[in-house]
Amino acid sequence: MQALDAVSIELRRGTFTAVMGPSGSGKSTFLNCAAGLDRPTSGSVWLGDVELSTLDETKLTEVRRQRIGFIFQAYNLLGALNVEENVTLPLRLAERRTDKAFLREVLTAVGLGDYGKRRPGELSGGQQQRVAVARALITRPDVVVADEPTGALDTRSSKQVLELMRQIVTDMGQTVLMVTHDPVAASYADSVVFLADGKLAGELTRPTSDQVAARMTHLGEW
């Protein structure tokens, strides 16, 4: 069985795209292929002028570290490191110097300007996810890939993180690709792409949460 079947899509720079579909529709596979975590068995994946699907593992790791930012449902922060150290970890792994001014800018943008020396255990879930957003931005990536970024958060924290993601697209020109099952989360995106049985099943532009929920209800009939 094919996880993805003839899915062809282009994401424009500086846009926020949400991917939705029922369980088993291919959302995670799509995200993993787009982010160079999985290799498609056929077809190609391009990040700007680089074809990810042809790179060897070393090159691919390099591209992921330098050009793709990741945000997951679990914040994946290291408890022994403070906020600044967690945020700059991708730079250290890539053996790149930290631009202190840009670090301050990013921490301020995510609302954690005064929290740099705190450890994850001293932060709320919403604040920890904002650290994860900052970590995804610190390498100035071409795209930020978010997998159910609000899945573990309460409604209020979820709203703050989604507003933040909307803001980094609008104010910083960041490109964001997010998988979510939540119509409210999807309504923050510029467009929502629907998958069903591994195939593209339509798209909504400037969606409202009601429109997204209605489309999800009818996906089974598609």
Tell me what pLDDT residue 221 has. 45
pLDDT in tens, 96-118: 999 999 999 999 988 999 999 99
DSSP string, 135-204: HHHTT--SEEEEESTTTTS-HHHHHHHHHHHHHHHHTT---EEEE-S-HHHHTTSSEEEEEETTEEEEEE
For the chain, the average pLDDT equals: 88
pLDDT in tens, 178-195: 999 899 999 999 999 998
* CATH topology (fold) of 16-221: Rossmann fold (3.40.50)
Report the predicted TM-score, pTM, of the whole model to 2 decimal places.
0.88
pLDDT for 1 beyond 80: no
